[in-house]
Amino acid sequence: MLAKKVGRLSRYCKKMMDESSLMKVETVSRDTKKQRDSVKVMISIILPKKTIRAESRKSKALEAIDRCCEKLEAQLKKYKEMHLKRKKS
C-alpha cells in the first residue's frame, strides 16, 4: 500500500526512477497530548542537485503519507518545470 501511494510521485519526475535518486520514508509513532499528532511521517526524495522533503503529523499513518504525497507533488512539479526551462535555454 505504501509503495503504491509513494510510487505515484514518479509520474511527476522521471529522474525519480534513475539510479542517481533515492527515496526515504520514516515513520515515528509517539504519545502526545493531541491525538491528531500521534504519527509523524517524513518522506525525503534525493534527486540530482536537489533534495525534496515533506513532513506530516496525523492520527493515522496512511493519512500522514497521503498529506506528504500532496506536498511532494507540488514540489516535484516545480522541480520539473525548473529543469525543463534550463534545457530549453
Complete domains list, the chain, with CATH = 2-84 (3.30.160.100)
Rg (alpha carbons) of the chain, rounded to whole number: 15
As given in the structure block, the three cell numbers for residue 23 are: 527515496
* pLDDT exceeds 80 at position 89: no
Strands 39-47 and 22-29: antiparallel
Q: Which residue has the higher pLDDT, 38 or 11?
A: 38
Helix (H, G, I), strand (E, B) or coil at 67: helix
* pLDDT tops 70 at residue 20: yes
Choose between 61 and 10: higher pLDDT.
61
C-beta neighbour count of 77 within 10 angstroms: 12
Q: Is the pTM above the cut of 0.75?
A: yes
Burial class (CB in 10 A: 0-12, 13-18, 19+), 13: buried
Return the pLDDT at 47. 85
Distance (Å, whole) CA 37 – CA 30: 8
38: which DSSP letter?
S
